[in-house]
Amino acid sequence: MKMKMKKLLITDDKFNINLKLYFFLKYLIKAQLTDNQSFKILEICTLNPTNFRDKLQQYALEEIKDKSKKQGFILEIIDKVNEEVDSELFAFSLRLFMMKDLLLAEAKTKHMINISTLDPLSLEYDNLTLYKPYSTRVQGALLVLESFNALEQNAVNFMSKDAEDFIKDLSALVNTLKTKNVESNQIFMLIFNESMNQSITSDSGLNYEDRITQVLSSIGISDKDITKKHDTIDSSTEYDFFFTLNSKTYGISAKKTLRERYKQFIKTAYMGKLDVMIEITLGTDLTKEKVEVIRAHDVFLFVANEIYDKHNYLQNALGVYPSRELTKETLVAMIVP
């Protein structure tokens, strides 16, 4: 038996007003307004409800004089504004635009707090980095839901006292426009998702090699002194990090998981003339046999703290260290006098 879905009907009036709200929000974001410009435009809308279109055009032409894309987007908005119908909707979209960055920053805060005190080479740090884009999206979606629930209930105490009047006005507009079929939560979420995606892309976490560079820099080995190079004898082996410390040469291979790649480094150990060869890995696919083979060729090994602390065979093996012990003192001690 086939299930039938009742035909859903969205009226033209409902579609058009929500489309216009989305358009206003989209172009306000494209205009990249500063906080001062946003407040000035909001002031123009508030003080000139009957002729704000002319006043806004005057402001755009006189105050944004460089004929930049910003001015163009503002003028494009003005061109689409119907004075009587849209003054309220535009003022509402401007308030939502001003709230967007605040919620976006809040969505990212949870990840920042969780990750700030962790060892960059730990398994927990790696997991948080992996989950970062998802946690930001989930946190953002929940924040938007809770914010609009609060606005609809006129609960204005979810932001700072200084913002109370702003939120009161926004709350009133949410409920007024709801009677006109404006689905502000849904339309704002469209815009908010787009902003989150852009922010996640531009603010992506450090990759594994970058985090190792960060650790080496923190212990006094400048990234200016680190190069990536192939072994002079075995050109098939590439050192992700090559540097000199106390006149001794160090080559590091860095991979989250070793799989079969560790065998290539062992092959190089037969022929290479480096003073110290090191593998850095999370250790999630390490076995006792792999560790024994790696160490049998005088290759030192660093693994994530959680993996090291979990396995006695790692703790009992000479030349195997947790990532928290990646220090200059440890590196110097690897040189046999």
pLDDT at 270: 47
Q: Give the residue among 116, 133, 110, 103 at the shortest CA–CA distance from 199.
A: 133
| pLDDT for position 161 | 55
Adjacent-strand bridge partners of 241: 252
- Match domain 209-333 to its CATH number in 3.40.50.1820, 3.40.91.80, 3.40.225.10, 3.20.20.105: 3.40.91.80
Report d(CA 82, CA 173) in Å as an integer.
18
Which stretches within 153-244 are classed as H helix?
164-178, 184-202, 208-218
8 Å CB contact between 267 and 274: no
The one-digit pLDDT tens for each residue of the chain (337 residues) are: 566 656 677 888 899 899 989 998 988 888 888 888 888 888 888 887 777 788 888 888 777 765 567 778 888 887 777 765 677 888 888 888 888 887 887 777 765 656 767 888 888 888 877 777 777 788 888 888 888 888 888 765 655 555 666 777 788 888 888 888 999 889 989 888 888 777 665 554 468 888 999 899 999 998 889 988 765 555 556 788 999 999 999 989 888 888 766 566 665 554 456 889 899 999 998 899 889 988 888 889 999 999 999 999 999 999 999 999 999 999 999 987 6
DSSP string, 64-107: STT--HHHHHHHHHHHH--HHHHHHHHHHHHHHHHHHHHHHHHH
| CB-based contact 331:250 (threshold 8 Å) | yes
Per-residue confidence (pLDDT) for residue 281, from 0 to 100 = 92
List the structure tokens of 186: 């849904």
According to DSSP, residue 246 is labeled T
CA 280 – CA 298 distance, rounded (Å): 14
Q: What is the CA radius of gyration of the chain?
A: 29
**Bridging pattern class, strands 320-322 and 299-303:** parallel
CA distance readout (Å), 243 to 99, 222, 227: 48, 9, 7
What tokens does 271 get?
């022929």
The pLDDT of residue 146 is 83
- Concatenating the DSSP letter of every residue in 228-256 gives EEE-SS-TT-EEEEEEEETTEEEEEEE-S
d(CA 13, CA 179): 12
* Domain boundaries, given as residue ranges, for the chain: 13-205, 209-333
